[in-house]
Chain A
Amino acid sequence: MGTFVHFLLLIRSNKRNIMSSNIFILDDDESVCRALKTLLMTYDFVVKTFNSAQNFFDNVAVNDPGCLLLDIHMPRLDGWEVQKRILSSGSSRPIIFISAEKQDNATERALKVGAVGFLQKPVNAQTLVDLINSSVK
């Protein structure tokens, strides 16, 4: 049974554009990074996590393909700033903002600045995966 599920997943992931299977998670909370990584790996994504913006910029090239799950509330550079920097670097990386705080008009603001969307923590698995998939269509 497990093999069957795995097989189905493989078919699904094969259908997906190879670029989309890369996920980057940038969140200052290590535990959140690890948990989201575990969850997304069950969907067969290749996941890399980063605890600071600096760490992310140092290790991910502008044109490395992959969707970025970006936490808003971080010390020093917050999520909005990071997104601005990514945009100005000429990258067209799909970005999904996530935050524990329900920010006013966060979804509208996220869409306005060119992100895929905004999700409030705790994030429901299916909602997250649906949004990631929508980003690469």
Chain B
Amino acid sequence: MKKKINTLTQKGTKKPLLKKISHINLEGQIHDLKSNLNIIKRQLKQGVNREKIVKEKLQGEVNQGADREKQSANREKIAEEQLHIRTKAMESTFDGIFIIDALKPDFKIIYANPSFYRLTGFSMNEVIGKNYFLLYGDIENTHTYEEIKKILLQGKSFQGEMVRLKKNGEKFWSLLRITLVRDNNGIVTHYVGNKTDTTLMKERNIEIEEQREELLHVTRVGKLAEFVSSLAHEISQPLTAILSYAQAAQRMYKGREPQLQEILQYIINDDQRASEVIRRLRYLLKKTKPTFEQLDINVLINDTITLILPHITTKNKAIKFESGKDMPAFQGDRIQLQQVLLNLISNSLEAMESNKDSQEMMVRTLLENAETIKVEVIDSGCGIPPKNMEKLFSHFFTNKPDGLGMGLSISRSIVEAHGGRLDAKNNPDRGATFYFTLPIQIKEKA
């Protein structure tokens, strides 16, 4: 022990020992040793007998008791474990983490975790010691980077989402957050960056947006087609009557009144011309045939709710989905059935809108029987006035100021094309339930 202290106090041997200790990361030990050394040095300078001091020092330490030594060893062990866990955590997180030296002006990266390398595609050599804002070497983002630097230099943290390129040119969405680390005097010593790959989330959002657009488009086209079809029907009826009257008159006056005959012929010709226009218009907007595929009703409803959920939440309402267990797969047109569901859900939402007490609507799936799936959309809105019950599903019937009166009639024709039926009833307490059935096997229409 005496020998060891001697060597320690000798210049030149101090450094290697310290280095070795720091290498194994035992900061506490280094600190203890350093302070011991300082005491010893001071006492040596004061000219006190070296051996005595050493003895006293050692004796003092021994006298402080074995317990204390044990305690300090324990603390060190715990600290060491903590440090180990924190390091491991940093290294295993999905987020890319990097640390920038803030005391120097060139934003040098002094640490990056493995996820950072994985996310960016850079190797350690390309990152450590490099200016973070020059890492990508692109001019494209200079403006953004200048903004970030400005924010950081103002002592604020930064958060933003951007498209980044990996080293291999692959695009990814990066959520970048940079926070400041200060020392005890409040000086910013480091910037800690956190890079999250939000590509999947972004893509999912874009996908949802696209689906919503597609559905809206189909709904609009569907509405137009249905509108034209109904209009065509309404106009065809009087055209039928006009043609029949004219042909009847022609027969009644056959061989007589040539001028009248001529007029009647003009009426017939123009009637047929108008019919032809309608026929062509209808052909132009011919409804696309449903494309049937194997569907799971619960998945379909979940997807649809995802699409309309933002709309429901902005209206401060909630939607609950009670999915029936073991619902069998069925054949159906995904887009068309989503259209039906969206229509029913948004109708319910509108029925509930004026009433602050009605907060929640529910979609429920169940098996009506072994061959039939039943879907219910239950709201707690204003319900359906009995006088409207009959007309509810007919074209052009609406009680909304800006409604076309097509939604429910289109929905019904879609459900019927699937071999099911769509109907409505008022709930015993309040609100209404719209429900439709879907056969698991579509029967050929007789």
Could you tell me if A42 and B243 are in contact, using CB atoms closer than 8 angstroms? no
Q: Mark A7-49, 1 if CB is under 8 A from B, else 0.
A: 0000000000000000000000101101110110111000000
Interface residues of B in 239-265 (CB under 8 A from A): 239-245, 247-248, 251-252, 254-256
Could you tell me if B236 and A121 are in contact, using CB atoms closer than 8 angstroms? yes
Could you tell me if A73 and B233 are in contact, using CB atoms closer than 8 angstroms? yes
Could you tell me if B251 and A42 are in contact, using CB atoms closer than 8 angstroms? yes
Task: Please indicate the chain B residues that have their CB under 8 angstroms from the CB of A42 in the complex.
Answer: 248, 251-252
Task: Please indicate the chain B residues that have their CB under 8 angstroms from the CB of A35 in the complex.
Answer: 240-245, 248
Could you tell me if A101 and B446 are in contact, using CB atoms closer than 8 angstroms? no
Q: How far is the CA of A36 from the CA of B239 in the complex (A)?
A: 12
Could you tell me if B279 and A39 are in contact, using CB atoms closer than 8 angstroms? no
Contact of B232 among A1, A5, A80, A100 (CB under 8 A): A100
Could you tell me if A100 and B236 are in contact, using CB atoms closer than 8 angstroms? yes
Binding site for B on A (CB under 8 A): 1-2, 5, 29, 31-32, 34-36, 38-39, 41-43, 73, 75, 80, 84, 100-102, 109, 113, 121-125
Could you tell me if A125 and B251 are in contact, using CB atoms closer than 8 angstroms? yes
Q: How far is the CA of A35 from the CA of B238 in the complex (A)?
A: 9
| A-B residue pairs, 8 tightest by C-beta | A100-B236, A35-B244, A35-B241, A125-B247, A39-B248, A122-B243, A42-B251, A121-B240
**Complex A-B: 19 CB contacts under 8 Å:** A2-B255, A31-B238, A31-B241, A35-B240, A35-B243, A35-B245, A38-B245, A39-B245, A42-B251, A42-B252, A43-B251, A84-B446, A100-B233, A100-B236, A121-B240, A122-B243, A122-B272, A125-B247, A125-B248
Task: Please indicate the chain B residues that have their CB under 8 angstroms from the CB of A1 in the complex.
Answer: 255-256
Give the residue name and chain of the A residue nearest to B445 (CB).
A109
Give the residue name and chain of the A residue nearest to B247 (CB).
A125
Task: Please indicate the chain B residues that have their CB under 8 angstroms from the CB of A32 in the complex.
Answer: 237, 240-241, 244
Give the residue name and chain of the B residue nearest to A30 (CB).
B241
Overall SS of chain B's interface = helix
Could you tell me if A123 and B240 are in contact, using CB atoms closer than 8 angstroms? yes
Within the complex, the shortest CB–CB distance from B14 to chain A, in Å, comes to 97
Q: How far is the CA of A113 from the CA of B251 in the complex (A)?
A: 33
Give the residue name and chain of the B residue nearest to A71 (CB).
B237
Could you tell me if B248 and A100 are in contact, using CB atoms closer than 8 angstroms? no
- Given the contacts A1-B256, A73-B233, A125-B251, A38 and B240 also touching, CB distance less than 8 Å: no
Could you tell me if B240 and A41 are in contact, using CB atoms closer than 8 angstroms? no
Max chain B Cβ within 10 angstroms of own Cβ: one of A43, A102, A122, A125: A122
Task: Please indicate the chain A residues that have their CB under 8 angstroms from the CB of B279 in the complex.
Answer: 102
Could you tell me if B248 and A122 are in contact, using CB atoms closer than 8 angstroms? no
- The answer to whether the Cβ of B282 comes within 8 Å of any Cβ in the partner chain is yes
Contact of A41 among B232, B239, B248, B256 (CB under 8 A): B248
Task: Please indicate the chain A residues that have their CB under 8 angstroms from the CB of B445 in the complex.
Answer: 109
Max chain A Cβ within 10 angstroms of own Cβ: one of B233, B247, B279, B446: B247
Contact of A125 among B244, B255, B275 (CB under 8 A): B244
Could you tell me if A29 and B237 are in contact, using CB atoms closer than 8 angstroms? yes
Task: Please indicate the chain A residues that have their CB under 8 angstroms from the CB of B240 in the complex.
Answer: 29, 32, 35-36, 100, 121-123
- Given the contacts A38-B244, A41-B248, A113-B446, A121 and B256 also touching, CB distance less than 8 Å: no
Give the residue name and chain of the B residue nearest to A73 (CB).
B233
Contact of B243 among A2, A73, A101, A123 (CB under 8 A): A123
Within the complex, the shortest CB–CB distance from B264 to chain A, in Å, comes to 12
- Given the contacts A5-B254, A101-B229, A121 and B248 also touching, CB distance less than 8 Å: no
Give the residue name and chain of the A residue nearest to B241 (CB).
A35
Task: Please indicate the chain B residues that have their CB under 8 angstroms from the CB of A123 in the complex.
Answer: 240, 243-244
Q: Mark B266-290, 1 if CB is under 8 A from A, else 0.
A: 0000011001000100100000000
- The answer to whether the Cβ of B316 comes within 8 Å of any Cβ in the partner chain is no
Give the residue name and chain of the A residue nearest to B272 (CB).
A122
Task: Please indicate the chain B residues that have their CB under 8 angstroms from the CB of A125 in the complex.
Answer: 243-244, 247-248, 251
